[in-house]
Amino acid sequence: GESVGLHLPTLSVQEGDNSIINCAYSNSASDYFIWYKQESGKGPQFIIDIRSNMDKRQGQRVTVLLNKTVKHLSLQIAATQPGDSAVYFCAENRAGGGADGLTFGKGTHLIIQP
Amino acid sequence: GAVVSQHPSRVICKSGTSVKIECRSLDFQATTMFWYRQFPKQSLMLMATSNEGSKATYEQGVEKDKFLINHASLTLSTLTVTSAHPEDSSFYICSAVRDRSTDTQYFGPGTRLTVL
């Protein structure tokens, strides 16, 4: 069936380096994609989002890239800090618009090495 | 703004009892709220969509008679796990949408349910 998935379950990076977390999706009708950060025992925290009519969107230290041709989404975190350690989920809007329940990817655990 | 709270944050109950979890949007009105469930080391799975003043829409495989959802006001949705069993032990997370046209879902801190 259609799903959103991640290539790597765990990513370990050195503090100060850039991190890239990848996500593949299969529903070509998806219109809206979001990255969430989840710390242990807490709810997901919104990081950044992007719509299907965009290829790139930048926030503070984060950039999301969307490649609709290969149905690929990535989250780039610049100059990673210890506080970036968490599980990162990509999510998609199933209906292609409007406020519908999200389909989440499996998650990538980002580990920051000192 | 866009703060969502949940109560309780953690609950332990005996098998066969019912547990109510509240989800509140603190600084905005939410016409739509969502309930997700997350098992350890897994992703979030959508359980149901809760619309103010109407019946909830449940995802396939989610028992509506077991997971009762009430969205009585624009700031409150409740999830009641009826006749809870150990396999219902999970992390239950709600989210709320301030404006359907903007899509952004704001998540609550989650409720850890442990059924003994």
- Rounded to an integer, the average pLDDT of B71-96 is 95
The reply to whether residue B109 touches residue A32, judged by beta carbons under 8 angstroms, is no
Residues with Cβ < 8 Å from A94, sequence gap 6 or more?
A2, A27, A30, A100, A101, A102, A103
DSSP state of A84: G
Q: Which residues of B touch A101 (CB under 8 A)?
A: 34, 46, 49, 59
Q: What is the 3-class SS of chain A, one letter each residue?
A: CCCEECCCCEEEEECCCCEEEEEEECCCCCCEEEEEEECCCCCCEEEEEEECCCCEEECCCEEEEEECCCCEEEEEECCCCHHHCEEEEEEEECCCCCCCCEEECCCEEEEEEC
Nearest CA in chain A to B6: A43
B28 touches chain A (CB under 8 A): no
Residue A1, pLDDT > 50, answer no
Residue B100: pLDDT band (50, 70, 90) is low
Residue B53, pLDDT > 60, answer yes
Residues with Cβ < 8 Å from B55, sequence gap 6 or more?
none
Q: Which residues of B touch A42 (CB under 8 A)?
A: 109-110
pLDDT tens digits along B7-29? 999 999 999 999 999 999 999 99
Three-state DSSP class for A83? helix
Q: Which residues of B touch A99 (CB under 8 A)?
A: 32, 97, 99-100, 102-103, 105
DSSP string, B72-91: EETTEEEEEE-S--GGG-EE
- Rounded to an integer, the average pLDDT of B44-57 is 90
pLDDT of residue A9: 85
CA distance B101 to A2: 24
Q: Which pair of structure tokens corresponds to residue A113?
A: 């090495």
Q: How does strand B76-81 pair with strand B19-25?
A: antiparallel
The reply to whether residue A44 touches residue B44, judged by beta carbons under 8 angstroms, is yes
Q: How does strand B67-73 pair with strand B76-81?
A: antiparallel
